Chains A and B, each alone.
Chain A
């Protein structure tokens, strides 16, 4: 059913957290080379969707399916999904005290090559390039992962990890939140550098702001666990002007609340 261009598809998935349904039948198809954005107000289930897709054990997928480049996502655990090419940039990345950024990334890259050390031949050079791309001081290589990082530094590190791991599909969960305008530009340029005709990016965001720098092909509005409207880039501008209320009202009317 999927043509060759399709790299990521979600079919009618439902997600429960602590017994409560937070994603209520959501479908999405993304082709190679495309950038999509899921926008929605707080509590719409955006982040739950992102966590569930990446395989967080606390998020139970009760029905539906998802395919990454032809592979059944829900037959894989978080590790296998990552190795299959999925990447999640966390909204709130975790600190790993005592583990340096460089060591962490070496371990992650080696994991992708079944422990083959030869993939690390250009590691140092690649890492330094990515530090430049994200305008991060190289001293971060020897700092402990997210330990004592500012919000903005954490977000940059997420995108740096994405750039190093070169995923097929990257889900970026609120990567723009907590960034000042300069940092937003740097992070966006990092995302644009990684984006290619072979991969796909799914931005999850509350605000339209980042979409000025990372231009999406499609925008989906998510409310109460569902996509209620999809459209082109113009939808984001409309949302920015009118807020979610317009869509929310029409959605509420539809479901009869």
Chain B
């Protein structure tokens, strides 16, 4: 019960957001390419990474697609059209070689990790740390017991070098470059990300974790993650993100592909806290084969504009998909997030739970698609959207789409918009909590269905981030 008791407790911390998350290091990079995007940049990236020819071609082809595709004509097009692709750095390599051990990692990068608390986290229960600093993974450790089980956990560049056959077989199969403009951009200039392969029937008992971090002003971060859980295996991957505060806009456009083969289980947990000038345009999609389960647990704080709709294709009979998300939109922020589930086989089931909090004119949108194909008989769909508005100036929209082409399907859909009730606040205040403490407790309660799915330290971190977001918001 200790966990239950501690999870939501209010943490006393000061106004240390800037020193905790707003620090930045002097930019001492081995290589910083030119701004802008073209075939020369793509060629340079591929050459520097000494990639096989097929990957070089993959990148060039993707760039053509990126250049030919128009901007999405939906969502917040005003913000989208403010992105200046020519002012962005597409590749920065911080040191010549990847740090093999902690001792070899440069001191200023270590300081950054220290501030993020990575070594401590590792001491506790990390299986392997793959921390992305700029575009290249500089520190990556993998516990021996995982290696013994045949589990591959590498940064994506190493994955391509060491396991080209697996990468070539699966990369781009779930999210082809053609999928959308930002998936095309990522395919052209990707760097870093995680590569995980879990052999059949192996249960990865401890979560695999990676920290991502943007540091250089005006640089894009285009990590590419590919996770393959072979038949009957189980894996939980966790990524957390923070970014320092800068005055001009950064672009983060990741692609994450998950493949759960027959009866496999993948959970992918993200808590992101990008600085408030970052465009966060991410494509995440999973294939769940027969009897497989994929769960996306997705927390979105920070960023200027987020577009992210984790997706599960249920392609095998009995497959299950779950998407649990929380978004927090503060001043000047738009969180456009949601979920997509495609039922393409019988007896498949999905559950979408979306929670959003908007304050100080922040805007959160839920955008969801559930599609059930005719042959997906006896499938179950459950969608629940909960929005909490903290003041009159804030905004919440819901754009649910359901395309149900099978008769024999059970569908549940619920959407609610609520406010923190004065009576609830009074009740808590009458027990000695201040108004701020009372509001925070109510908010923590609101997102409890999400935080209870997180490992303890992430739940604490999330509540802490929300407390920071809430500071000074109440008069």
Interface residues of A (CB under 8 A from B): 54-58, 77-79, 81-83, 87-88, 90, 93-94, 96-100, 102-104, 106-108, 110-112, 115, 124, 141-142, 144, 161, 165
Contact = CB atoms under 8 A, between A and B. Distances in A.
Contacts of A83: 432
Given A111-B434, A142-B4, A98 B447 contact: yes
B1 A161 contact: no
Interface in B417-451: 421-424, 426-435, 437, 441-442, 444-449
29 contacts: A55-B430, A58-B422, A77-B429, A78-B430, A79-B433, A79-B434, A82-B431, A87-B430, A93-B427, A94-B421, A96-B441, A97-B446, A98-B8, A98-B445, A99-B445, A100-B4, A102-B5, A103-B4, A103-B5, A104-B441, A107-B9, A107-B433, A110-B10, A111-B433, A111-B434, A111-B437, A115-B12, A124-B5, A144-B448
B444 A98 contact: yes
Given A79-B435, A108-B432, A99 B427 contact: no
A59 to B, nearest CB: 10
A79 B5 contact: no
Q: Top 7 nearest A-B pairs by Cβ distance?
A: A98-B445, A98-B448, A99-B445, A78-B429, A82-B432, A111-B432, A108-B431
A67 to B, nearest CB: 18
A189 B133 CA distance: 62
B431 A165 contact: yes
Contacts of A141: 1, 5
B7 interface: yes
Given A88-B430, A161-B431, A165-B431, A99 B4 contact: no
B445 A97 contact: yes
B307 to A, nearest CB: 27
A142 B444 contact: no
Given A82-B432, A103-B9, A107-B437, A142 B1 contact: yes
Name the residue among B10, B428, B430 with the largest chain A CB count within 10 angstroms: B430
Contacts of B423: 94
Nearest to B1: A142
Contact of B7 (A97, A103, A110): A103
Nearest to B441: A99
Nearest to B431: A108
Nearest to A83: B432
Nearest to A165: B431
B446 A108 contact: no
Contacts of A96: 424, 427-428, 441-442, 445
A144 B447 CA distance: 13
Contacts of B427: 90, 93-94, 96
A100 B430 contact: no
Interface of B: 1, 4-5, 7-10, 12, 421-424, 426-435, 437, 441-442, 444-449
B321 to A, nearest CB: 24
Contact of B433 (A88, A100, A108): A108
A107 B4 contact: no
Contacts, number: 97
A141 to B, nearest CB: 7
Contacts of A165: 431-432
Contacts of B7: 103
Contacts of B1: 102, 141-142
Given A98-B445, A98-B448, A100-B4, A82 B422 contact: no
A98 B433 contact: no
Contacts of B445: 96-99, 144
Contacts of A88: 430
A79 B422 contact: no
Nearest to A54: B430
Nearest to B438: A79
B5 A106 contact: yes
Contacts of A124: 5
A78 B426 contact: yes
Contacts of B430: 54-55, 78, 81-82, 87-88, 90
A142 B447 CA distance: 16
Nearest to B7: A103
Q: Which of A87, A90, A103, A165 has the most CB of B within 10 A?
A: A103
B422 to A, nearest CB: 7
A106 B5 CA distance: 8
Contacts of B432: 79, 82-83, 108, 111-112, 165
Contact of B446 (A82, A98, A112, A142): A98
A78 to B, nearest CB: 4
B369 to A, nearest CB: 27
Interface-central residue, A54, A77, A107, A111, by most chain B CB under 10 Å: A107
Nearest to A102: B5
A111 B434 CA distance: 8
Given A106-B5, A161-B431, A57 B448 contact: no
Contacts of B437: 107, 111
| Most B-side CB within 10 Å, residue of A54, A55, A78 | A78
Nearest to A142: B4
A64 to B, nearest CB: 20
Residue among A58, A96, A98, A108 with max Cβ neighbours from chain B (10 Å): A98
Contacts of B441: 96, 99, 104, 107
Contacts of B9: 103, 106-107
A214 B421 CA distance: 33
B384 to A, nearest CB: 13
A22 to B, nearest CB: 17
Nearest to B446: A98
B354 to A, nearest CB: 15
A109 to B, nearest CB: 8
B408 to A, nearest CB: 32
A39 to B, nearest CB: 23
A55 B448 CA distance: 29
Contacts of A104: 428, 431, 441
Given A87-B430, A99-B448, 7 more contacts: A55-B426, A55-B429, A58-B422, A82-B429, A94-B427, A98-B446, A107-B441
A100 B422 contact: no
A257 to B, nearest CB: 34
B374 to A, nearest CB: 38
B10 A107 contact: yes
A134 to B, nearest CB: 17
A124 B6 CA distance: 12
Given A79-B434, A103-B5, A141-B1, A94 B424 contact: yes
A98 B450 CA distance: 10
